[in-house]
Amino acid sequence: MLTGADYGYWKRQEQRWATLAEGAPDETARDYIYGAFEKSSQALAGLEKALLALGLLDQAKELDLRSPHQDFFDPIWRQGWRAGDLVDIGSGKEASENHEPLTNGPGKDNGSRES
């Protein structure tokens, strides 16, 4: 489970791993490090997307975990997301980009809706 309060910590972790990967001696090591953190990155991207949708992202970025005064009933703390759901949300492409390009003419505007 991840909450908005976890966002800052895991974002720093992601940056740490990226720094580590970029400082790797060769391509294999670099890819390995990025691969090791890939799932977490996807979950983090999903968390970011979810917080943005709920309008909580700014609050999550500004949250000071060192402060002893925390409102644990705040949605930032209370609403927990499953990591699996977040990976789905984070790794999924935009649904409107999911279709392959068409070859025949009239279907070019294979629009964003079907009702």
- Contact positions vs other proteins (CB under 8 A): 49-50, 52-54, 75, 78-82, 85-86, 88-89, 92-96, 98-100, 102-108, 110-115
Q: Which is nearer to other proteins, 62 or 94 (CB)?
A: 94
Q: Which is nearer to other proteins, 61 or 78 (CB)?
A: 78
Question: Per-residue DSSP letters for 7-46?
Answer: HHHHHHHHHHHHHHHHT-SSHHHHHHHHHHTHHHHHHHHH
Phi-psi region of 9 (alpha: psi -120 to 50; beta: other; left: phi over 0): alpha
DSSP 3-state assignment of 108?
coil
Q: From the CB of residue 80, how many other CB atoms can be counted at a distance below 10 Å? A: 12
Q: Which is nearer to other proteins, 28 or 115 (CB)?
A: 115
**Nearest distance from residue 45's CB to other proteins, in Å?**
12
Length of the chain, in residues: 115
**Nearest distance from residue 66's CB to other proteins, in Å?**
26
Q: Which is nearer to other proteins, 10 or 34 (CB)?
A: 10
**Nearest distance from residue 81's CB to other proteins, in Å?**
6
